[in-house]
């Protein structure tokens, strides 16, 4: 595969499917594929847009191939542990990187930006839902949140609601559970749910900004969370992985993350 064609492996609900694809994806028989340097990035769904753009730039600059596996951060961490393959990991919530480091799976990490959670409603808030977290415990509204076991926004939603003392009340409201931020956006924009808790950055993307609105959550409950990009110990191309990391934290990288709704790294 020639440079300039980022290979994006689709999101997976089954970790075993991820494993099979990664194993088969590393079994190259064509000489040209073997000769082309490559890196594999595990990327949380919410950050896929800036990572794609950085990957295209990086492929052109370094004459290499960038493969991306996207999915819920929890599932990606399980895939890393199972496969022991890959070069970089970018989860949507810092605790996944903490676990990655604690388990000896990651060499080092850098902050590429910040995200924060927000309440999301359909465009123009047709149900006039109050911009208060307690609205998510109101049985008048259909609520959607992500599973804390599968993705970063699920874990973040649990933390936010626990800080507000509302987690049990929201669970009692029989919320719809999804796996990731994309499904939350779809549920709200299609009217399956009235209100959800999602990452703010997703509300700023052109394809979403005409369908959903953001209702800000006080920072005491929803502080910004750092996005940490780490080099995996399994990386066979640490120099190439380090160069991608440096691109991500460069001025250009900061601008790209900002373009997609993330706050620049400090």
196-255: pLDDT as tens digits: 999 999 999 999 999 999 999 999 999 999 999 999 999 999 999 999 999 999 999 999
Question: How would residue 107 be classed by pLDDT, with cut points 50, 70 and 90?
Answer: confident
Mean pLDDT of 96-122: 95
Question: Does position 122 have pLDDT exceeding 60, yes or no?
Answer: yes
Q: Rounded distance, CA 86 to CA 107, Å?
A: 12
Q: Rounded distance, CA 160 to CA 164, Å?
A: 6
* Predicted pLDDT of residue 1: 44
Are 192 and 121 a contacting pair, CB within 8 Å? no
- What average pLDDT is seen over the chain? 89
CB contact burial 226-241 (16+ within 10 A = b; e otherwise): bbbbbbbebbebeebb
* Predicted pLDDT of residue 35: 66
Question: Does position 140 have pLDDT exceeding 80, yes or no?
Answer: yes
Give the chain's length: 266
Instruction: Give pLDDT tens digits for 43-87.
Output: 999 999 999 999 999 999 999 999 999 998 999 999 999 999 999
């Amino acid at each position: 595969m020639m440079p300039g064609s980022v290979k994006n492996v689709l999101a997976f609900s089954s970790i075993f499917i991820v494993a099979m694809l990664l194993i088969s994806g590393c079994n190259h028989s064509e000489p040209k594929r073997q000769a082309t340097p490559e890196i594999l990035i595990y990327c949380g769904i919410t950050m896929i847009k800036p990572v794609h753009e950085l990957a295209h730039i990086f492929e052109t600059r370094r004459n290499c191939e960038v493969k991306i596996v996207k999915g819920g951060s929890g599932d990606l961490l399980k895939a890393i542990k199972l496969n022991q393959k890959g070069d970089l990991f970018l989860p949507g919530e810092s605790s996944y990187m903490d676990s990655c480091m604690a388990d000896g799976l990651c060499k080092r990490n850098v902050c590429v930006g910040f995200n924060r959670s927000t309440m999301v409603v359909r465009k123009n808030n047709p149900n006039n839902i109050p911009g208060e977290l307690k609205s998510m415990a109101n049985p008048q509204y259909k609520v959607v949140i992500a599973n804390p076991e599968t993705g970063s926004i699920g874990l973040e939603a649990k933390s936010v609601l626990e800080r507000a003392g509302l987690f049990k009340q929201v669970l009692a409201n029989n919320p719809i559970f999804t796996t990731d931020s994309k499904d939350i956006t779809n549920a709200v924009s299609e009217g399956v749910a009235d209100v959800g808790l999602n990452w703010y950055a997703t509300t700023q993307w052109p394809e979403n900004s005409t369908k959903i609105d953001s209702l800000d959550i006080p920072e005491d409950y929803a502080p910004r969370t750092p996005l940490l990009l780490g080099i995996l110990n399994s990386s066979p191309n640490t120099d190439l992985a380090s160069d991608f990391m440096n691109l991500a934290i460069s001025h250009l990288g900061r601008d790209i993350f900002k373009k997609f709704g993330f706050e620049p790294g400090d």
